[in-house]
Amino acid sequence: MAARRKPPLDVASLWALKRIGTPTLAPDGSTACAAVTSFDMDKNESATELWMFPTGLAGSRRAARRLTAGSKDSDPHWSPTGERVAFTAKRGDDKEPQLYVIAADGGEARRVTTLATGCHGLKWFPDGKRIAFVSRVWPDLSTDAAQARRLKERADDKVKAHVTERAEYRYWDHWLTDGREAHLFVCDVATGRCRDLMAGSGLQLPPWDPAGSDYDVAPDGREVVVSVDRAPEQGMMHRRDLVLIDVATKRRRVLTEGSGMDDGHPVFSPDGRWIAHVAYDTQRAFNDQGHLRVVDRRSGASRRLATRFDRGVGAVAWAPDGHALRFTCEDRGRIGLWSLALDAAQPVPLVAGGTVGAFAQSRDGSVIAFDRATAAHPPALFACRGDGTGERPIETLNAAILGRHAFGETKEMTVKGWGGEPVQVWVTFPPDFDPKKKWPLMHSIHGGPHSAHHDGWHFRWNAHVFAGWGYVVAMVNYHGSTGFGQRFIESITGRYGEKEYADVEAATDHLLARGYIDRKRLVGTGGSYGGYMVAYMNGHTDRYATYVCHAGCYDWVSMMATDGYKFFAKELGAYHWNNMPKVLAQSPHHFVKRAVTPTLVIHGDLDYRVPGTQGLQYYNTLKAKDVDARLVYFPDENHWILKPQNSRLWYREFEQWVRRYAPGGTRSRGAAPARRRR
């Protein structure tokens, strides 16, 4: 009897996969703790619990176990003594996430805070008696009771108008007009008593996404360092400074006032003498990838590390001996874990990508735990020794689901893109791919533009789901993508569309030349800047059978409604009132007269990065031109489609649309493509 063929990955299984968060590691390296999120499609909701995963590298041989049974438990942090885990959760009558602690060996969690404004971004003090966190508060109110009263007044007020004179007044999917500021608090774990370290200082953490990476606690517990924009009104393109705050007296001292850099992500050295951080030279280039620096805590003297290292860095930590830094680094479509000795010219890799998300290390640095995804596997937890050897998986929560499905191969290719320059392309093939047959090609074009396709896993745009429909899926790291050096990032500034389009077309030509792509079934899809690209392509070529434009930038003039409009003068090279021809040359709406290709337009109403009117403008224009088009508009989603049932609809509409014009599978299995209206 022939073996039963496994089906390709489908949307139901994609949403059945557990999503594993950033690990925190016990001081002795024996056990990692991480948040694990599961989704219920029928209830259209998620639940997040904390799990313990023995590393197998420091004596513990216990099985993985669930630590908490709440539905909104996240952001775990192991205490310095290894006895407790702190986390945030919404339980019982909590209206906002609160700080909880639980014994590492289990039992009942204890709620530490009852703050009306909640908390996030936790970090323990070295004494294990205090925890720092971030909370958004009204700076003119001095007590939590007053904060609670104002929250209730705002909730009960029948008028919900936003009134502001701020230049940047909303971000991503929420407004910044309520007068609240992100402040750093310190909490006594035994009593729950909290102090606002920024009260009355005029300082606040960046309002966009304030997080634990915006501050650090000194090893002696006497000071914290914060990354703050000290301008009277904060802005996304402003420069931040590192400021030291005395925990006892709240006295402040600016460390990097004269750096001329945007200084962020500070981390104290183990001896407390130095602060490592990432500095961005935004005066030179708005899209600077950043570089590593260390600044002396006492004198403020600063120096750059690895001056010739041409890559951006992510999460940063000190090696416990204080002689090196460990950090995640994006390099040519992969994100690995690297180590840089303070006196070295170049870092060396410790853990290879895939895509490493974040990492934690034991007190002595002998064990590292990290999460990593690949093109064939969603994020999973691993552990290794401090030198990167002895790597081993430490959880298998998704093994059963993944084992039920067949996955096609993902290959890395290089094509000659714009100007003959090399461009990386990831290609995912259908599970039953036969190169002797003809297959449709689907481009999945990444957003940004300053981001990249990685050897990683994507839940919202999953290449294996697309390939399972019978498409060869190409993912081009076009000019402007990150991970290939600063020059490559800047190469598209002031001339959006041109080089990226040439790179995508070069990938299409390269795959056509291989003989297994059906030139009548070419599909272009993309989100955000990828949506911009397919709208741009629709006005430049008619060789694609159809497009899918998700949250795409369509008109750079009306895109002034975005939350990031202040970038335009630098991104496009001018505001439209100063140089309209330059802006129009980069705007898809300027070329729409030549657009003839059927397009599925998808957008979310809560999208403030690419406002929903961009999608409506594009859809209406295509309809006015009598070009086949379909609109899928989500009133309850932002730039991303995040809710399970909305995502299921998204994938269904996506699949049905591309099949209409470029059926999946081999030519013999597919019907003839539908004819387009001109």
Give one DSSP letter per residue of 6-74, joined into a string.
Answer: PPBP-HHHHHHS-EE---EE-TTSSEEEEEEEEEETTTTEEEEEEEEEE-SSSS--PPPEE----SB-E
Single-letter residue type at 620: N
Give the start-to-end residue ranges of the domains of the chain: 32-111, 116-137+168-275+291-304, 305-394, 406-661
Q: Mean pLDDT throughout 560-569?
A: 94
pLDDT at residue 507 greater than cutoff 90 = yes
Q: Mean pLDDT throughout 469-496?
A: 98
CA torsion sign for 583, 585, 590, 596 is negative
pLDDT at residue 2 greater than cutoff 90 = no
Position 258 scores a pLDDT of: 84
> What is the pLDDT confidence band of residue 58, given thresholds at 50, 70 and 90?
confident
pTM (two decimals): 0.96
Q: Are 417 and 423 in contact (CB under 8 A)?
A: yes
Q: How far apart are CA 288 and CA 234, in angstroms?
A: 19
Q: Mean pLDDT throughout 215-236?
A: 96
Q: Are 508 and 443 in contact (CB under 8 A)?
A: yes
* pLDDT, mean over the chain: 96
Q: Give the percent of the chain with pLDDT over 70.
A: 97
Q: Are 586 and 569 in contact (CB under 8 A)?
A: no
> What is the pLDDT confidence band of residue 671, given thresholds at 50, 70 and 90?
very low
Task: Please state, in angstroms and as integers, the Cα–Cα distance from residue 432 to each residue in 6, 117, 436, 439, 463, following that order.
Answer: 10, 53, 12, 11, 15
Tokens read off for 483: 């991970």
pLDDT at residue 669 greater than cutoff 50 = no
pLDDT at residue 407 greater than cutoff 70 = yes
Bridge partners (DSSP) of residue 246 are 223
Bridge partners (DSSP) of residue 475 are 426
The radius of gyration computed from the CA coordinates of the chain, to the nearest angstrom, equals 26
Contacts of 670 (CB under 8 A, 6+ apart): 440, 470, 521, 663, 664
Q: Mean pLDDT throughout 91-98?
A: 95
Position 17 scores a pLDDT of: 98
Residue 614: closest CA among 503, 536, 499: 536
Query: What is the signed CA dihedral for 615, 621, 625, 630, rounded to 10 degrees?
Result: 20
pLDDT at residue 675 greater than cutoff 60 = no
Q: How far apart are CA 595 and CA 624, in angstroms?
A: 12
Q: Give the percent of the chain with pLDDT over 90.
A: 95
Interval 534-548: pLDDT, tens: 999 999 999 999 999
Q: Mean pLDDT throughout 211-231?
A: 97
pLDDT at residue 670 greater than cutoff 50 = no
Q: Mean pLDDT throughout 503-524?
A: 98
Stated as kind and residue range, the H or E segment containing 155 is: helix 144-156
Residue 481: closest CA among 539, 542, 533: 533
Interval 111-159: pLDDT, tens: 999 999 999 999 999 999 999 999 999 999 999 999 999 999 999 999 9
CATH of domain 116-137+168-275+291-304: 2.130.10.10
Q: Which CATH entry fits the domain spanning 406-661: 3.40.50.1820, 3.30.9.10, 1.10.150.120, 3.40.50.720?
A: 3.40.50.1820
The secondary structure of residue 239, as a DSSP letter, is P
Q: Mean pLDDT throughout 95-119?
A: 97
> What is the pLDDT confidence band of residue 557, given thresholds at 50, 70 and 90?
very high
Helices (H), 514-643: 529-538, 568-571, 580-584, 612-624
How many C-alpha atoms does 534 have within 13 Å on its Cβ side? 32
Q: Mean pLDDT throughout 647-652?
A: 98
pLDDT at residue 570 greater than cutoff 60 = yes
Q: Which residue has the tokens 């599925």?
A: 600
pLDDT at residue 337 greater than cutoff 50 = yes
pLDDT at residue 3 greater than cutoff 60 = no
Interval 16-55: pLDDT, tens: 999 999 999 999 999 999 999 999 999 999 999 999 999 9
Single-letter residue type at 354: G
pLDDT at residue 672 greater than cutoff 80 = no
Residue 50: closest CA among 27, 26, 23, 30: 23
Residue 554: closest CA among 531, 583, 581, 571: 531
> What is the pLDDT confidence band of residue 192, given thresholds at 50, 70 and 90?
very high
> What is the pLDDT confidence band of residue 59, given thresholds at 50, 70 and 90?
low
Position 60 scores a pLDDT of: 61
pLDDT at residue 424 greater than cutoff 70 = yes
Q: How far apart are CA 166 and CA 65, in angstroms?
A: 48
Residue 77: closest CA among 118, 137, 120: 120
Position 63 scores a pLDDT of: 87
Q: Mean pLDDT throughout 611-628?
A: 98
pLDDT at residue 1 greater than cutoff 60 = no
